[in-house]
Structure 1
Amino acid sequence: DTCPFYSFSEAVIGETTCDGKKKMFEMISERKPMHIMDLPQLPDEKEALDNWSVMITKLQGFLENTFDTKVSTDDIHKAISENNRKNDLVKEILEFAALPDPVIGWGEMHDVIFLATPARGNNINTTLEGVVSKLKERVKQGYVHGAKGAPRVLITGCPTAGDAAKVFKIIEESGGVIVALDSCVGLKPFAEKVEEGTSDPIRAIAERYLKIPCACMTPNNRRLTELDKLIDFYKPDAVVDIVLQACHGYNIESHKVGEHVIKKRDIPFLKIVTDYSQGDAGQIKTRIEALLESVK
């Protein structure tokens, strides 16, 4: 019970993206109200959208029963509108790293993402608007994050936070600059918007989230098409794919991603398999330095 998110929570919502997490959720259910959503993993099948819509409707019922409240259709429409605005603002903030001379680094991007992800309502949007204004001011002042002309790195792969963020630190310490975080704790949650004003907002939510190219999906060709868009926009000199140990989906999919980046995009690619310890930091530093040297 050392995680603040867990200790502060009154209920836990899980999904079936990972076998390890499913077993963990069984253990959590012995301690707290627990609701698991069965995520369809063949997203292009016609039944997937119907099934995921049902899961979201069941989640609504769980929340209403657990917290003795009622969620109206108007409430959902309002939340969609506010969340879309939040996504636009986070995207705008992260896009300041796409400038030829980035004015934001991975640490600030990381902070914005972790602030915005659980937040809702207009208060967070006002805060994010303030961040946008500050970044625009940096551009006017000629501020550059990192060394001018530093090798640009796009990060893809597993959600990475906490001690596993050592890879990000090593990249910057080695003279690189991270211009994009392509993961579930990066751009993915903010890349698209939920359609507004529909007669069925639950289905609109389901459609938007089924488009996220998680490695649990099969086939996951959308990951490559979305990666191409990021490469075109952020113009990285190298791509680093971070795989956490025991995350077999991302580990296996890394082969396809690497082939695509190297052969189709002609960009240097490095796969790093790591964990939350510091034991491999020296080895990672050596490999990162070699990668950055190759693109200078």
Structure 2
Amino acid sequence: MELIKDLPEVFEEFAEQRQKSFLAVKELKEKGVPVVGSYCTYFPKEIAMAMGAGCVSLCSTSDETIPEAEKDLPKNLCPLIKSSYGFAKTDKCPFFYFSDVVVGETTCDGKKKMYEYMSEFKDVFIMELPNSQREPGLQLWKGEIIRFKEYLEQKFGVTITEEQIREAVKTENQARRSLKKLYEVMKHDPAPIKGQDLFKVLYGSTFKFDRSLIPGEVDALTAKIEKEYAEGKMEEKKPRILITGCPIGGATEKVIRAVEDNGGIVVTFENCSGAKSIDKMVDEDAEDIYDAIARRYLNIGCSVMTPNPNRLELLGRLIDEYQVDGVVDMILQACHTYNVETNTIRKFVTGEKGIPYISVETDYSQADIGQLNTRLAAFVEML
């Protein structure tokens, strides 16, 4: 499938996907299609997809609604939680407005308590996420996935068959494989595209309701990047940066820009919006499909897990495969789990992998852009 458009145009289309989906979600509702909103990579979207629902990531990456959220929530709370709640409370997020149900999960304490407030004006289904990846945790999580399926069946008066779930698993796995192939183009040195452009596609794809369309679009884009690379079109050789830490998107894209405006190139993202959410597949041939889904999601290496070896495993692999020169750990203010874990990550990156590491703490405002530029310019220069 040949893409006629230029690459920059395609990247912009993905960047605008969120806005385009505002109209798409309204159309879904007009057709009577259920919409399920979520905030987290742990959300097992295959269960909702099996019912034929549209799944969407809800607005949570701008400081626009934070003042409104702070009327109910403490000021010294993570901006992602305040933003999520603010958009919900003010109805400024069309996705939230049109969602029939919002699926929350017991990741961090701030989110858990925020969902209690949110449930006062929206149907919120809370999934009990264990905080460890041991066998008892897996059994609990599998039970929660089945409970979620039963909740959807009861709420929407449908039956979700195992066959439908397996079909949804195949669809989502195909989307993951395509996105994975796309971000693997960054293994080339020099890199074929900017990290900012890669991120536009990864982030934009989370707003696509019809997940079956992703492979076609993304595979065509990957083929075009590879073709142009073979013809000699690429970025200049620059220090190769991996970004890890809290979820990136919206306001926090300033960290990617600060790296790339100051002489570096972001070749891989370990965050939720990057490798973490598409690295592992669900075992399509598993005898027990609920167990397979539970394993795939519970294995995500998030800082809410104790201990959290899977984050280090993925981080180590990405550092090696993408020939990373330095690691930037992006921490949102008042995100305690990721903030406490910076010590572990620093020791792993500098000690075990022997490369430089920096952690930057930020929020959703534009106030610290100068400081970010100064610190990241110095970091890149040192490389």
Q: 2:239 aligns with which of 151, 155, 161?
A: 151
Measured in 1, the distance between the counterparts of 2:213 and 2:157 equals 25
Sequence identity percentage: 38
Q: 2:254 aligns with which of 166, 170, 175?
A: 166
Kindly provide the amino acid, as one letter, of the partner of residue 340 in structure 2: I
1:17 alignment partner, SS class = coil
What is aligned with 2:203? 114
Q: 1:270 aligns with which of 347, 358, 366?
A: 358
What is aligned with 2:139? 50
2:164 alignment partner, SS class = helix
Q: 1:222 aligns with which of 310, 335, 351?
A: 310
Q: What whole-Å deviation, never above 9, does each CA across 1:259-282 have from its counterpart, x for those lacking one?
A: 111111111100001100111111
What is aligned with 2:45? none
Is the Cα–Cα contact under 8 Å of residues 240 and 272 in structure 1 kept in the other structure?
A: yes
Is the Cα–Cα contact under 8 Å of residues 150 and 176 in structure 1 kept in the other structure?
A: yes
For this pair of structures, how many residues does the alignment match? 292
Moved more, 126-135 or 68-77: 126-135
What is aligned with 1:60? 149
Kindly provide the amino acid, as one letter, of the partner of residue 271 in structure 1: S
Measured in 1, the distance between the counterparts of 2:104 and 2:181 equals 29
Q: Are positions 1:181 and 2:269 aligned together?
A: yes
Measured in 2, the distance between the counterparts of 1:59 and 1:161 equals 27
Q: Are positions 1:25 and 2:122 aligned together?
A: no
1:286 alignment partner, SS class = helix
What is aligned with 1:83? 172
Runs (4+) off by over 4 Å: none
1:96 alignment partner, SS class = helix
Q: What whole-Å deviation, never above 9, does each CA across 1:175-211 have from its counterpart, x for those lacking one?
A: 1100001111111110010001222111100001111
Kindly provide the amino acid, as one letter, of the partner of residue 241 in structure 1: D
- Aligned counterparts, 1:124-139, within 5 A: 124-139=214-229
Moved more, 128-137 or 209-218: 128-137
- Return the TM-score normalized by structure 2: 0.74
Q: 1:10 aligns with which of 87, 94, 100?
A: 100
Kindly provide the amino acid, as one letter, of the partner of residue 163 in structure 1: A
Measured in 1, the distance between the counterparts of 2:293 and 2:378 equals 43
What is aligned with 2:162? 73
Measured in 1, the distance between the counterparts of 2:196 and 2:156 equals 35
1:250 alignment partner, SS class = helix
Gaps of 5+ in 2: 1-90
Is the Cα–Cα contact under 8 Å of residues 172 and 212 in structure 2 kept in the other structure?
A: no
- Return the TM-score normalized by structure 1: 0.95
Moved more, 222-231 or 173-182: 222-231
Give the Å deviation of 1:68: 2.5
Measured in 2, the distance between the counterparts of 1:216 and 1:60 equals 24
Is the Cα–Cα contact under 8 Å of residues 79 and 121 in structure 1 kept in the other structure?
A: no
Gaps of 5+ in 1: none
Q: Are positions 1:208 and 2:296 aligned together?
A: yes
1:155 alignment partner, SS class = strand
Give the Å deviation of 1:284: 1.2
Give the Å deviation of 1:118: 4.9
Backbone CA RMSD of aligned residues: 1.3
